[in-house]
Amino acid sequence: MDGQGASADPQLQHFIEIESQKQRFQQLVHQMTEVCWEKCMDKPGPKLDSRTEVCFVNCVERFIDTSQFILNRLEQTQKSRGGFSETMD
């Protein structure tokens, strides 16, 4: 033993962190799809009218911008803390 007790391999911690982030991102995509659908889809039909299409595009673009901001912020936070953070859920 190297005296670190039950600490996990740093590569394993990194893998788990990445997979957790992927899962959170997928959950966000699902939530945003639901939000955009509720916000933009008044009356389902065989095709989207232009107003509904514009609403979906704007909703998705806001989601992408927000997601990119969050991912960049997480990356900056991880770099400033030197890697794995035990405070992240």
CA 31, 32, 38, 43 torsion-angle sign: negative
Percent of the chain residues topping a pLDDT of 90: 36
pLDDT confidence band for 23 (50 / 70 / 90): very high
With both helix axes pointing from N to C terminus, report the angle between 50-81 and 10-40 in degrees, rounded to the nearest 10.
160
pLDDT tens, position by position, 33-74: 898 999 999 888 888 899 999 999 999 899 889 888 988 898
Residue 53, domain CATH: 1.10.287.810
**Structure tokens of 79?**
């770099």
pLDDT of residue 84: 52
Q: What is the mean pLDDT of the chain?
A: 82
| Residue 4: inside a domain | no
* Across 77-82, average pLDDT: 81
| Residue 23: inside a domain | yes
Domain that holds residue 65: 12-83
